[in-house]
Amino acid sequence: MSKPVPPEKLAQAGAWLAALGVPAILLALLGFLLWRGVPGLSLALFFADTPPLAALRGAPVFDGLWPACLGTLALVALATAIAVPLGVASGIYLAEYATGRAKALLAFAIDLLAGIPSILMGLFGFALILFLRRTVAPDANTGLLLSALCLAVLVLPYVIGTTRLALENLPLQLRLTGASLGLSPGRTVRHLLLPAALPGIFSGVMLAVGRAAEDTAVILMTGVVANAGAPASLTGKYEALPFHIYYLAAEHQSPAELTQAFAAALVLLALTGLMFLAARVLQTRLERQWTTEPTP
Amino acid sequence: MPRGNITPSLLLFATLVSALSVLAIFGFLLWFAAPVFTGETLSSLLSWQWRPQQGEFGILPMLAGSLCLAGSAMLLAYPLGLGLCCFMHGLGPTWAARPLLGIVRGMTSVPTVVYGLVSAFLLIPLIRAGFSGSGFSWLAAGLTLAMLILPTIVLILDSQFRTIHAQTQLTAAALGFTPAQQVLRLTLPLSTRGLLVAAALGFGRAIGDTLIPLMLAGNAPLLPHSPLDPLRTLTSHIALVVATDSQSAAYGSLFACGVILFMVSLLVNLALRRLRHE
Amino acid sequence: MKFELSRLTGRLLAAVVCSTLLTGSALAGELDVFAGKKGKIDIAGGTAHIPVMKEAAKRVMQTSREIRISVAAGGSGVGVQKVGEGLVDIGNTGRPLSDEEVAKYGLKSFAFAIDGVAATVHPKNPVGNLTAAQVQDIFAGKIGNWKAVGGRDAAIHLYTRDEASGTREVFWEKLLKKGTIAANANVVASNGAMKSALASDQDAIGYVSIGHIDETIKAPTLDGIAPTQDNARTGKYPIVRKLYMNTKGEPHGLTADFIKYILGPDGKQITAGAGYLPL
């Protein structure tokens, strides 16, 4: 057996290494996070010295995570509300209607958008405000809405890309079925292709939600602050979980504050993880629905 | 969702809005960077010295820093991602594929700032203890960034592998291929497009990330000579300098950095497009 | 009750005492002006100011729920820029404004505290005194090992602040005499971040506002003079600066009330509690 190791074996060894290594690293990360963060988990983490029930009714909370949690939720809801309709519509158009040079050009613009670093969205938002102030709206200011808008642009390509890919990857039979049933292209899209592509589209939305919740660079430049209380208006400054963690990681003035950072990281991870799981559950349910629908 | 037909013109409008936003961003960056790109400040911009107090606004160290960091993260993450995908599509046991994909999917939900936080208090002290230096370094940021971009690479490759796999299933069976042979001899060679997309998007994600270098790379504006040296990327430079007075050359240099970052993503996309059409 | 608390740090004690007193009538008077008012104040800039701003904001917001005060960091550069552009109501700086800045934006400054800036190291660092020349050489990168200044045989890890920092500007002008700061120094974004970076790196040296010095970091004496607020007040310790709040033009409404509150007896107490000398 003096033959060299066959490439299959080498590849197999590499694959095993990756398959064992990555989960191991993740486990170490998670373990460390739990070890440092769990001791900080308590009601006081969220509400500090404000009674929780009072806080839920709107009493101001200082030194707790509550305002940051609300800020992040508001941010994600707004950004998704802007990005999803726009993104799904664009994805459908690119996959089903656009042709020739126009399609190539539009698709290229979207690809380009996907490649733009998030900090540039933030810079854009910041510049936009400076521009607006000098021209038409002297009172324009950085705040929740601006951040949500920039985040929406950031996650838009995720929604567009997955929608388009999900539609384009559908089997040809489905399109032929539509045609053979005498459906117009529009109806084929609506009644056959879209339902089939829904799981794919939802995976895009899932990516978008996760990305919007965790991004720090955009909000860093468009209105997030360390202390602002719960978000009160669309134009106001706000707190957000990822920024809070970033801020405390660098700024913690005591071991207790650092523990708070780790606990906040656990909360954010739980939040993004929960959204992720919810999207997955939804996705599998829709998949099942689609596969059982044709046989009444 | 509307009942009945979907109006193509409405869809076109949405697409135009999406596509034009990229132009708007570029336009704004260019508009604000224009004063720097014209006149004598350009030569000061394209130098290796960042000393605003002495009137030197060189951003070359940041450009080099961005390329070094993104390149090294890709070198780590790409083979790892490829290995994972091959493992899930034939090189590993079938039962392991689903949980592994689940884990990688789950990784997409790990916030960047969480990676940054854990690395700052786990990896940095390890590097400080194990090697010389403060720990805030290219190495720390590169390792962490690799984890961050891994799911991007894996998920794109996986979906590509899946499609190709389904298409070649019969051929592979007819040829009597083992699953390992199928993934290495059929799926992989046929997945060129996915391989390139994964590489391009992974690189784009790596060069565009702000938080990992900002939190871990030490942010010293100079060219690193070893993995243990600190570096500053274009992205963290923007985050650090956005502070400065809005008329000075330091401020203009921000937008110049922005234009460069934009150009990098433009180049990546152009290259990708070319390769796809060949 | 207060005796049990005595093992906590002085600052914490001060904060606790302050908030206990808050409910008392003695201080309620000053906050009365905010009662029933509504509106918002956005504050950004100098990072040395943050503990003071946060505490004052908390008290004001507890007085009236209709008032919202946001406090952001960024450094003195951010303070000037944001208040100048009208993006915030109060822009804090840890350095006096330049004539250029005042002229360009029409800013008005309110100094409320004296603070010093000191070179600081990890508490386990055996170096107890540095001369100004040594500090200059260390930051220029000419001295690269702690052994050269009487410490252990280990490479010096330099930490500095970004260019927006007023602390950096004061340190650079008054202690480094505008000398170079080695380009390989780690850059951190605030006084708080500098403190926590130094507290976790045994071979580190950086510089912070004196108000930020506590048991987690150590400030070696400079030419034999301890960088304390007392020495800063008497002028024995030379690296001092004032902390300013700046507004675009004359402040009015809530902003004016808030500045007045910071400058009043209550604000002075908060300022002292945060480790600064109120003016």
> Chain B contact for A279, CB < 8 A?
no
Q: SS3 for A64-96, per residue?
A: CCHHHHHHHHHHHHHHHHHHHHHHHHHHHHHHH
In the B/C pair of chains, how many CB contacts fall below 8 A?
67
Q: Any idea what the CATH number is for the domain that residue B191 is in? A: 1.10.3720.10
Number of domains in chain B: 1
Task: Convert the pLDDT of each residue in C174-212 to its tens digit.
Answer: 999 988 888 888 888 888 889 988 998 999 999 999 988
Find the CB nearest A250 among C42, C72, C193.
C193
The answer to whether position B93 is within a domain reads yes
Task: Convert the pLDDT of each residue in A217-226 to its tens digit.
Answer: 999 888 888 8
Confidence at residue A289, expressed as pLDDT on a 0 to 100 scale: 56
> Chain C contact for A143, CB < 8 A?
no
Task: List the domain range (segments joined by +) for residue B221.
Answer: 62-277
Task: Convert the pLDDT of each residue in B58-88 to its tens digit.
Answer: 889 999 999 999 999 999 999 999 999 999 9
Nearest C-alpha in A relative to B262: A116
Predicted TM-score of the model (pTM): 0.86
Task: Convert the pLDDT of each residue in A113-131 to its tens digit.
Answer: 988 899 999 999 988 888 8
Confidence at residue B243, expressed as pLDDT on a 0 to 100 scale: 61
Nearest C-alpha in C relative to B128: C201
Per-domain residue ranges of chain A: 65-291
Average pLDDT over residues A60-81: 89
Confidence at residue B1, expressed as pLDDT on a 0 to 100 scale: 44
> Chain C contact for B248, CB < 8 A?
no
pLDDT above 60 for B101: yes
Chain B CB contacts of C184 under 8 Å are: 220, 222, 229-230
pLDDT above 90 for B222: no
Confidence at residue C243, expressed as pLDDT on a 0 to 100 scale: 93
Find the CB nearest B134 among C101, C178, C204.
C204
pLDDT above 90 for A195: no
The answer to whether position B153 is within a domain reads yes
Q: How confident is the model at residue B6 (pLDDT cuts 50, 70, 90)?
A: low
CA distances from C201 to B136, C125, C148 (A): 11, 10, 19
> Chain C contact for A226, CB < 8 A?
yes
Residue C93 DSSP SS3: strand
Confidence at residue A292, expressed as pLDDT on a 0 to 100 scale: 53
pLDDT above 90 for C117: yes
Phi-psi bin for A58: left (phi > 0), alpha (psi -120 to 50), beta? left
Contacts of A200 (CB under 8 A, 6+ apart): A162, A163, A165, A166, A167, A169
Residue C39 DSSP SS3: strand
| CATH assignment of A65-291, among 1.25.10.10, 1.10.3720.10, 3.10.310.30, 1.10.730.10 | 1.10.3720.10
> Chain C contact for A129, CB < 8 A?
yes
Confidence at residue B83, expressed as pLDDT on a 0 to 100 scale: 93
Find the CB nearest B118 among A33, A116, A273.
A33
The residues with which C111 forms a beta bridge, in sequence order, are C244
Q: What is the DSSP string of A124-175?
A: HHHHHHHHHHHTT-TT---SHHHHHHHHHHHHHHHHHHHHHHHHHTS-HHHH
Task: Convert the pLDDT of each residue in C7-17 to its tens digit.
Answer: 444 454 455 44
Give the CATH class of C115-240.
alpha beta
CB contact under 8 A, B134 and C201: yes
Instruction: Assess contact for C121 and C198: CB atoms under 8 A.
Output: yes
Task: Convert the pLDDT of each residue in C149-171 to its tens digit.
Answer: 999 999 999 999 988 888 998 99
d(CA A126, CA C43) in angstroms, rounded, equals 17
d(CA A93, CA B107) in angstroms, rounded, equals 30
Residue C265 DSSP SS3: helix
Q: How confident is the model at residue B275 (pLDDT cuts 50, 70, 90)?
A: low
Per-domain residue ranges of chain C: 115-240
The answer to whether position B70 is within a domain reads yes
Higher-confidence residue of B156 and B45: namely B156
Residue C86 DSSP SS3: coil
Find the CB nearest B219 among C78, C187, C203.
C187
Residue with tokens 């390139």: B196
Dihedral sign of CA atoms C72, C74, C76, C82 in order: negative
